[in-house]
Amino acid sequence: MEYIRTSPKKTDGCIFCEKLNDNRDRDNLLLYRSRHHFVLMNPFPYNNGHLMVLPNRHVPDMEGFEDEALLDFMKTMQLSLESLKEAMMPEGFNVGINFGKVAGAGLGEHVHLHIVPRWAGDAGFMTVVGETKVIPEHITRTYDCLSVIFERRSRESAEG
């Protein structure tokens, strides 16, 4: 309820760029930074653990990405999936990229990939009949759990 009652800060710029450049990662739900990309928790999740992978550059799509940036994009997605599996034991995932507002990207000017953990029955009667989503864990608690796993996994990956 604390999160729900907090009104979002209005901004004239890109909210993703602002979160990347602000050094308050926990407040901004920023879990991971690589050379080319970063991982944010979605503050309006479809399910617990809903993450987004975004390029550090403010770009509307992936056209013109160098091979190194494309590989880093996929490696960052892979790290995210592995971390979610360890932390939350989902039974599956929805992963997708929406390019442009007409494709469903609410913030179409900064491309981002969504990763949504899924469990059997997670779209039960509350979602269908009550038009309500049940999120069983507070977002900051999920962040705290995931941040430890991201940090450990990225350190292990760098070591070798």
Catalytic residue numbers read 112
pLDDT of residue 124: 54
Structure tokens at 152: 């450990």
100 residue type, one letter = G
Residues in contact with 85: Cβ distance below 8 Å, sequence separation at least 6, in sequence order:
none
Fold of 2-154: HIT family, subunit A (3.30.428)
| Domain residue extents for the chain | 2-154
**Nearest-5° angle of CA 75, CA 32, CA 59?**
70
pLDDT in tens, 24-59: 999 999 999 999 999 999 988 888 999 999 999 999
The pLDDT confidence band at residue 138, using thresholds 50, 70 and 90, is confident
